[in-house]
Amino acid sequence: MTGSIEGKGGVQMNRKIGFIGLGIMGRPMARNLIKAGYTLVVFDVNAEAIQDLCSAGAEEGLSARDVAERAPLVITMLPNSPHVVEAILGKDGALAGAGPGSILVDMSSIAPLVSKDVAAKARAKGVEMLDAPVSGGEPKAVEGTLAIMVGGEEKTFDAVREILLKMGSSAILVGGIGSGNVAKLANQIIVALNIAAMSEAMTLATKAGVDPEKVFQAIRGGLAGSTVLEAKMPKVLKGDFKPGFRIELHIKDLMNALDTAHGIGVPLPLTAGVLEMMQALKVDGKAQNDHAGLIQYYESLCAIEVRGRQ
């Protein structure tokens, strides 16, 4: 596919995109960009992940720096703040290879203050940055229907918006740099509390001798219905806790939420409570489970399993 991407300050960029981080989320996101006709230069610490994307048409990057030297737009999708700092600011990081007019889009879920710090260092080199975390988990990453929350300059956002929409069904500019991750923290609080509420309710129903699957069907069309309920209750009913979004990653997000909130004087008592439930599951060896597995905390308290009756 031919054409160009209009970059910051009118810089014309070709359709080559760098992509760093090919995990549960990054790999399907990168595949959707390839399907949309972009040429990707990819890098990950996992060589198998690189080869998988190369078999789909991507080019192999030798390092984050090499990726940025070969692509004017670089997307990162990494587990946490330290990984982003190393991938962008490290000796062989993307910023070492990026030139003036390049754009970095960090789609990881990290602390907002880290986004601001990395962006300031990038801007000093003439490189613009957006923080653009996502919501939707692996299923929506595969479908290309993620919700993308973006922080940064409007002109930079406008330059890459259509690319983001190849990975998501929505891409909303929330505010300045760091705002995307603030929005993501708010999202993760709501998701965690939804799963906890669902778990409490369905444990009650099961302990009372009522089929939780019938309860799900009865309430899903009412005010208690939600995207979280639709996505997570079927997994609970099957006892399927294969990760779409791991408990350990939700722990990371809630810890970032608490750190951010405490830094600006905002108490988050419900968030703290759910975090401790997830920490208990982590201690019990369930950190790799999908966050729908939070129901196992309640199951252990009541000595039952919430499963469908079929």
Active-site residue (options: 8, 184, 232, 286): 184
Neighbours of 305 (CB within 10 A): 14
Backbone φ, ψ for residue 167 (5° rounding): -110, -15
In this structure, which amino acid lies at residue 10? G
Neighbours of 89 (CB within 10 A): 16
Report how far residue 54's alpha carbon sits from residue 138's, in angstroms, rounded to the nearest whole number. 20
Residues 6+ apart with CB under 8 A from 107: 26, 29, 75, 76, 77, 132, 133, 134, 148
Q: Where are the alpha helices (DSSP H) in the chain?
A: 26-35, 47-54, 64-70, 81-89, 94-97, 112-123, 137-143, 154-164, 179-207, 212-219, 227-238, 247-263, 269-283, 295-302
Residues 6+ apart with CB under 8 A from 307: 212, 236, 237, 238, 239
Residue whose C-alpha is closest to residue 224's, from 198, 245, 249: 198
Catalytic residue flag (residue 184): yes
Report how far residue 138's alpha carbon sits from residue 140's, in angstroms, rounded to the nearest whole number. 6
Pairing of strands 16-20, 73-76: parallel
246 has which bridge partners? 290
Enter the tokens of residue 25. Answer: 């989320």
DSSP state of 233: H
Pairing of strands 128-131, 134-135: unpaired
Report how far residue 260's alpha carbon sits from residue 266's, in angstroms, rounded to the nearest whole number. 8
Contact 29, 49 (CB under 8 A): no
Which residues are annotated as catalytic?
184
